[in-house]
A and B are shown apart, each in its own frame.
Chain A
């Protein structure tokens, strides 16, 4: 039964889209932050914010998928403690994928620059302008991002280990190939 051993097309699409956007948004944020004030910096920071809002929306969609579907089980060959660790890691990833865009949004408001999604839709300011709060939120946003970097590193390392060393179906459950997963 392919439906039980692989994620659905929707889940796979959302996962890889989120991955792609995260890999674009993270370095964009780091790079733009280092730039001297220029039109390019203003543009890159705006794109970073728009991507962040998109990741937030994708995360909402992915949690909605999780709430209405049962993910395919991990291969039974994986020890229970590793399965638990994997679930814990996934939970933390979801938490960060909410918390990071949210702290970015709050930081933007606190610094006195409202977020206008895609240059079209202005998000409400959740906090008033407050320089000290803005600086604090920026540090939190940065810290959470380096946490995300570490977790994503572990997530990728685990997926590759299962695929190339254990030769089990863990990664194939999420690969966009049409192949059925062998039990």
Chain B
């Protein structure tokens, strides 16, 4: 009985090594970034969120079970200027007092071939939840998985920038969200 268990463990380990499959589920938040790009009067500008959390489980061999959940602390935004940061915390923009966070919760992941995938899910900002799909690439470096992706949202769909700021000729409606997530594989169940 013991021998059999040991043998099957060996087999399992062998199978995992040969397929190089592993479940990546330990997000290294300090190595990950959540940024965005937008245009203001035709000028391309970039910003980022200083604080966000991410949980994911991703095994390229078991894509059906992949999951991701991201939450950005909207008050930690850096739009590139302190004047801009103060402005977007306000009621017309994110209204961070009432809606402190933006959330993405995946409903599934599709394989697009090669190292390309697409995460589908709901993005909730300012009390509005909409379906989004975010294409990304996955690359594995030993026990570290690196996810790079981006998608474009329309800020007015989430009422980000209401009233006078709804003027998309000053600040464009399209905002590109760019994410870089680094996650370690869970330690193999040895010993």
Contacts and interface: CB of A to CB of B under 8 A. Distances in A.
Interface of A: 37-40, 42-43, 45-46, 111-116, 119-120, 122, 129
Interface in B13-60: 40-45
Contacts of B40: 42, 113
B108 to A, nearest CB: 38
Contact of B170 (A42, A111, A115, A122): A42
B171 A113 contact: no
Given A37-B87, A116-B42, A43 B81 contact: no
Given A40-B170, A122-B43, 8 more contacts: A38-B164, A42-B41, A42-B170, A46-B41, A46-B42, A46-B43, A111-B81, A114-B44
B41 A116 contact: yes
19 contacts: A37-B83, A37-B84, A37-B87, A38-B165, A39-B164, A39-B165, A42-B41, A42-B170, A42-B171, A43-B170, A46-B43, A112-B45, A113-B80, A113-B81, A115-B43, A116-B41, A116-B42, A120-B42, A122-B43
B171 A112 contact: no
Contacts of A45: 41
Nearest to A117: B42
Contacts of B83: 37
B167 interface: yes
Contacts of A120: 42
B43 A114 contact: yes
A159 B167 CA distance: 45
B42 A119 contact: yes
Interface in B132-191: 164-165, 167, 169-171
B41 A112 contact: no
A120 B80 CA distance: 21
Interface of B: 40-45, 80-81, 83-84, 87, 164-165, 167, 169-171
B155 to A, nearest CB: 13
Contacts of A38: 164-165
Q: Which one of B42, B80, B87 has the highest number of Cβ atoms from chain A below 10 Å of its Cβ?
A: B42
Contacts of A112: 45, 80-81
B41 A43 contact: yes
Nearest 3 interchain pairs by C-beta: A119-B42, A39-B170, A46-B41
Nearest to B166: A39
B89 to A, nearest CB: 12
A55 to B, nearest CB: 19
B80 A116 contact: no
B36 to A, nearest CB: 14
B41 A119 contact: yes
A116 B43 contact: yes
